[in-house]
Structure 1
Amino acid sequence: MKDKILGTLYGQAIGDALGMPSELWNRNKINNFFGKITTFLDGPYENEVAKNFTKGQFTDDTAQALIIIDALNKNHFEPSKKIIADALIEWANATNAFENNILGPSSKAALTAIKRGEDPHCYTKNALTNGAAMRIAPIGTLFSKDQKLELINYVKGISETTHTSDVAIAGASMIAYAVTLAVEDKHWEEIIEGVLDIHEIAINEGAQTFSASISERLKLAVQFANHFENGEAYSRWLYDVIGCGTSLTESVPTALAIAYFCKDPHECAIFCANIGGDTDTIGAMATAISGAKYGYSNFNKLWIETIDKHNNVNLDQYATTLEKNKML
């Protein structure tokens, strides 16, 4: 179990860090500037959101995932909106995230309102960006296949600090449940079926929006994945048709489809880093799922060493904490 949990954590960190240099650039710009990203790189000065990061550093996606675990650990693994909000604000203040364009728009608006003593609900109910989904993957390791409702409620309790919309709860639940199934080593078709099933329940748990359907986009992406043998062609198709932007309805189905298509987390991370758009977040979500299925012991040890060297965290300790608090 711990090998699978570590695979999730390192998968998230690797996908995040590999996708950091190209974050929010389009495909042509990535290709012209990098050629093809195949390893960890410094954030280029030309990229406003990545220029302060060095090679192997993960971004707010993984940082917030670990903050969530710390916040849960402070409250016996019961989600507390106040504790989570306080932890996220403390981290944001320490990293100048409010000023340095690190926070996503939904999280920034909600946390700013909380700092001012205001009710953030007017922001959280309309949150359509992927902040809830990008940080949720490790939570999937706490649950088993038959705990769908428990997982959704837990994800909702964690996410409501910044995201309470229908697509936010559904998208985050899909990513978490994909990890749950991957940890249990379910085959890829069953993982896709499972996340489609959980979407139908979770989409009713948040404030209604007029968003496109995550599940229908995922169905289309998986259908077309089976027609592509060439990764570059499928990457272009996903970018053009499903989308790689910061919205949940683009990035979540794209991340799930990439994990399904690539399977191997190393290929998955490279695929995500070069696809364009929200590369670090898509990479964090997709590679966490692949890593959960693949397991830590099968990772490239040089990549593991790079993550350990350039980030001041002990992911083994986080894996131990998650393993101890698995919801049986």
Structure 2
Amino acid sequence: MTSTTQVTDVLLDRAQGCLLGVALGDAMGMPGELWPRARVLAHFGWIDHFLAGPDGHFVVDGYQAGQVTDDTQQTMMLAEAILDAGGDVRAEVVARHLVDWADRVGASEGNFLGPSSARAIGKLRDGADPRTTGSGGETNGATMRIAPVGVVRASDDLEALVDAVVEATVMSHDTDVAVAGAALVAGVISAALDAPEGAGLDGLVETGYRAAEIGLGRGEKVVAASVIRRSEVARRIAEAATDDDSFLQELYETVGASVATSETVPAAIGLLVRGEGDPVRVAILAANLGGDTDTIGAIATGMAGAVSGASRIAPDLAGTLLSVNRIDPLGLAERLVTHRR
């Protein structure tokens, strides 16, 4: 299908900001990945620039300052899969690209794959139908790579957007909470790309909630807290906190920062609101939260990048991300947005 969207400079800037924001939040949050908040504070003090992975870290030991993790890699993978399918989101194509990526980087041999993705990739390698391999997937791997869906699907048809979310996630995370979380984030990104100049965050987040409600009707029913209700709690914490440190502590203790979708997505919404959609500020806040900092940072900063655009990310930060990782999120976004409909 051909695009029905006129690619303006503003739309392109926001699309590029989204994918560049994923990488920014991922790399800024990488050093403290999966450390408790107290350990992040004790080891780093306050993170406000790219840092190398700490010596002895069980995942990111040896990573360079500015290096991204599988969050960005899988986001780029999904973008390539969508482009490979001519702008469509097809589960079979995404599954093939997912396995190819995992084999290329040796993902199954390290410690960075989440449990749902690792299990699904193993089944896919054995030839299983990708529409059957995502049972029980409740963790945040679906949401961490979902940004390209928000770039290629417009927010005026949320049913179609959620259909695309399902196609992008069913092979690894075929549960209602995972689909709802990914739909919420894709909905915010899509609405941000469509928003008029000066639009506030509230309307964008509400669009995300509507997409999440649709997503709750998809996938296997599991026991999990509502990503919508918990996101509302995170928003209230963000709005009421008197300073960033107390905000982060309250968010960590009340909403949580684990790999569970029901914690990751609400935490990301809280960070987006507290950072007022500024991608650099959101990335810094996420890095200091503790918990799954790289993934939460990738998700929150991807949304913030879609709100504010790549032009709000300092050239030195963008340059480091591109040179250290040899990725091209700006080019991918430019290609993706031509398929937006």
TM-score band, normalised by shorter chain? over 0.9
Aligned-partner Cα distance in 2 for 1:312–1:235: 32
Confirm or deny: 8 A CA contact 1:170 1:203 kept in the other structure. Answer: yes
Matched, 1:258 2:271: yes
Q: 1:122 to 1:140 in 2, by over 3 A?
A: closer
Match of 2:72 among 46, 62, 82: 62
Match of 1:215 among 189, 210, 228: 228
Please tell me the residue identity of whatever aligns with 2:297.
G
Matched, 1:100 2:113: no
Aligned-partner Cα distance in 2 for 1:315–1:117: 31
Match of 1:239 among 248, 252, 255: 252
Q: For residues 25-40 of structure 1, what are the structure 2 equivalents within 5 Å?
A: 25-40=35-50
Matched, 1:314 2:314: no
Match of 1:278 among 286, 292, 296: 292
Q: 1:112 to 1:52 in 2, by over 3 A?
A: farther
Q: 1:297 to 1:172 in 2, by over 3 A?
A: same
Confirm or deny: 8 A CA contact 2:19 2:148 kept in the other structure. Answer: yes
Aligned-partner Cα distance in 2 for 1:231–1:243: 16
- Which range is displaced more, 8-17 or 292-301? 292-301
Confirm or deny: 8 A CA contact 1:184 1:293 kept in the other structure. Answer: no
Confirm or deny: 8 A CA contact 2:155 2:161 kept in the other structure. Answer: no
Please tell me the residue identity of whatever aligns with 1:267.
R
Please tell me the residue identity of whatever aligns with 1:278.
D
Matched, 1:166 2:180: no
Q: Secondary structure at the match of 2:136?
A: coil
After TM superposition, give the deviation of residue 194 of structure 1 in Å: 1.6
Match of 1:305 in 2: 319
After TM superposition, give the deviation of residue 269 of structure 1 in Å: 0.4
Please tell me the residue identity of whatever aligns with 1:116.
D
Match of 1:201 in 2: 214
Confirm or deny: 8 A CA contact 1:110 1:124 kept in the other structure. Answer: yes
Confirm or deny: 8 A CA contact 2:139 2:261 kept in the other structure. Answer: yes
After TM superposition, give the deviation of residue 123 of structure 1 in Å: 5.4
After TM superposition, give the deviation of residue 297 of structure 1 in Å: 1.4
Q: Secondary structure at the match of 1:124?
A: coil
Q: For residues 140-159 of structure 1, what are the structure 2 equivalents within 5 Å?
A: 140-159=150-169
Could you give the per-residue CA deviations for residues 56-99 of structure 1, whole angstroms, max 9, x where no partner exists? 11111111111111112112122232322221112111211101
Match of 2:185 in 1: 175
Q: 1:232 to 1:54 in 2, by over 3 A?
A: same
Aligned-partner Cα distance in 2 for 1:86–1:172: 20
Please tell me the residue identity of whatever aligns with 2:332.
Y
After TM superposition, give the deviation of residue 121 of structure 1 in Å: 6.4
After TM superposition, give the deviation of residue 303 of structure 1 in Å: 0.4
Aligned-partner Cα distance in 1 for 2:111–2:150: 28
Q: Calculate percent identity across the aligned residue pairs.
A: 34
Aligned-partner Cα distance in 2 for 1:57–1:206: 33
After TM superposition, give the deviation of residue 116 of structure 1 in Å: 1.8
Q: Secondary structure at the match of 2:143?
A: helix
Please tell me the residue identity of whatever aligns with 2:328.
N
TM-score in terms of structure 2 length: 0.92
After TM superposition, give the deviation of residue 317 of structure 1 in Å: 1.6
After TM superposition, give the deviation of residue 144 of structure 1 in Å: 2.4
Match of 1:267 in 2: 281
Aligned-partner Cα distance in 2 for 1:229–1:55: 31
Aligned-partner Cα distance in 1 for 2:173–2:259: 14
Q: Is there any run of 5+ residues in structure 2 with no aligned partner, and where?
A: 1-10
Confirm or deny: 8 A CA contact 2:279 2:305 kept in the other structure. Answer: yes
Match of 1:81 in 2: 91
Confirm or deny: 8 A CA contact 1:110 1:121 kept in the other structure. Answer: no
Please tell me the residue identity of whatever aligns with 2:174.
T
Confirm or deny: 8 A CA contact 1:138 1:179 kept in the other structure. Answer: no
Aligned-partner Cα distance in 2 for 1:146–1:88: 29
Confirm or deny: 8 A CA contact 2:257 2:291 kept in the other structure. Answer: yes
Equivalenced residues, count: 327
Aligned-partner Cα distance in 2 for 1:271–1:289: 14
Confirm or deny: 8 A CA contact 2:130 2:170 kept in the other structure. Answer: no
Q: Is there any run of 5+ residues in structure 1 with no aligned partner, and where?
A: none
